[in-house]
Amino acid sequence: MFIDRRFEAGEEPENYSFVQALVTDNRALMRQQPEYLKQLETLPPKLREAWLYGSWDVYEGQFFEDFRDVPEHYEDRQWTHVIEPFAPDKGWTVCRSYDFGYGKPFSCAWWAVDYDGVIYRILELYGCTRMPNEGVKWTPDRQFAEIRRIETEHPWLKGREITGVADPAIWDASRGESVAQTAARYGVYFTPGDNERIAGWMQCHYRLQFDENGYPRMYVFKNCKAFIRTVPLMLYSQTRPEDLDTAMEDHVCDEWRYFCMSRPVKPMMQAQTAAVWSDPLNQIRS
């Protein structure tokens, strides 16, 4: 990988393009050292994905290594979770998930649920400055005023009955009006989310699973930049196996988890392979 210079603060990512070059594009290397491909194929899975296939968003310790963002499939929606946006059908259910933040980012997302139960992250409001994991320090009043404005003005949300799920901590009223009570003053209502972490992460993984035809049970519209940026960065906890490292920028993941726990699914069974009847063991089982 060649880096001409470091990305400077204040520059816009939209002004840059990523031009991928795989090892097979190096014709001189392929002519002089064709066995190099065989060497790369023997690497551990994560390194092999990066060095041989150019998948630099997969690395050791990555919590959501099953998340896929493949622009070539945004239109056909196969083998990718990120897709082109579209207006949800009027008959689909629309829900909201929320994780409170002030010094750290708050995260609010809107989800559409189709007739088959597939979920689509269609919109998000992420309270982050240009610095990762730094909150914009909006008061609860300002957050819910903006959420209410979006729900009354955005064409995908306007006129819909929207249910919400959020971190149970927002019902804490020990220091005065709770965050949930503030939300209610703006007509933004939530039910407490199930905060069981390990079971919640498993629900997220179940949603990301692909069936044998390459279709998952959840999609993310490409305009949901906070999800696309932060989810691949999550790492495993060093102290609690199977949990996510809470020191990471995990606010999007938390509200995603609350939503998945509100609509649990069973793990997707892998397609059965056809029996090989020349195998004596299969003849015995029959």
Distance CA(274)–CA(122), nearest Å, equals 38
Q: What is the pLDDT of residues 98-151, one digit of tens each?
A: 999 999 999 999 999 999 999 999 999 999 999 999 999 999 999 999 999 999
Closest CA to 61 of 242, 206, 207, 220: 242
33 & 101 share domain: no
Q: Across the chain, what does the average pLDDT equal? A: 88
- pLDDT band with cut points at 50, 70 and 90 for residue 53: confident
44 & 101 share domain: no
H/E segment holding residue 120: strand 119-126
Cβ partners under 8 Å of residue 278, min gap 6: none
Q: Which residue has the higher pLDDT, 38 or 127?
A: 127
Domain that holds residue 175: 71-262
The answer to whether position 129 is within a domain reads yes
Residue 51 to residues 28, 92, 96, 256, 273: CA-CA distances in angstroms?
Answer: 17, 42, 39, 31, 31
Reduce the DSSP state of residue 166 to 3 states and report it: strand
Q: What is the pLDDT of residues 188-199, one digit of tens each?
A: 999 999 999 999
27 & 167 share domain: no
Contact, 43 vs 51, CB < 8 A? Answer: yes
**What CATH number corresponds to the domain at position 132?**
3.30.420.280
Distance CA(99)–CA(109), nearest Å, equals 9
Residue 12: its pLDDT value, please? 74
Distance CA(135)–CA(127), nearest Å, equals 6
Q: Which residue has the higher pLDDT, 133 or 273?
A: 133
- What number of other Cβ atoms are within 10 A of residue 32's Cβ? 9
Residue 36: its pLDDT value, please? 74
Residue 48: its pLDDT value, please? 66
Closest CA to 230 of 103, 128, 147: 128
Q: Is the pLDDT of residue 44 over 80?
A: no
Distance CA(23)–CA(235), nearest Å, equals 28
Q: What is the pLDDT of residues 161-184, one digit of tens each?
A: 999 999 999 999 998 999 999 999
Distance CA(99)–CA(83), nearest Å, equals 24
Report the domain count for the chain.
2
Q: What is the pLDDT of residues 221-246, one digit of tens each?
A: 999 999 999 999 999 998 887 899 99
- What's the predicted TM-score (pTM) here? 0.77
Distance CA(19)–CA(12), nearest Å, equals 17
Of 28-42, 129-143, 150-164, minimum mean pLDDT range: 28-42
Distance CA(15)–CA(272), nearest Å, equals 47
Domain edge (last residue) among 60, 83, 101: 60
Tokens of 187: 């007509």
Closest CA to 166 of 83, 238, 96, 61: 96
Please give the backbone phi and psi of residue 141, each rounded to the nearest 5 degrees, phi first: -60, -45
**Strand 107-113 versus strand 119-126 pairing type:** antiparallel
Residue 4: its pLDDT value, please? 59
Residue 165: its pLDDT value, please? 99
The answer to whether position 274 is within a domain reads no
> Which DSSP letter does residue 91 get?
T
79 & 26 share domain: no
44 & 25 share domain: yes
The answer to whether position 23 is within a domain reads yes
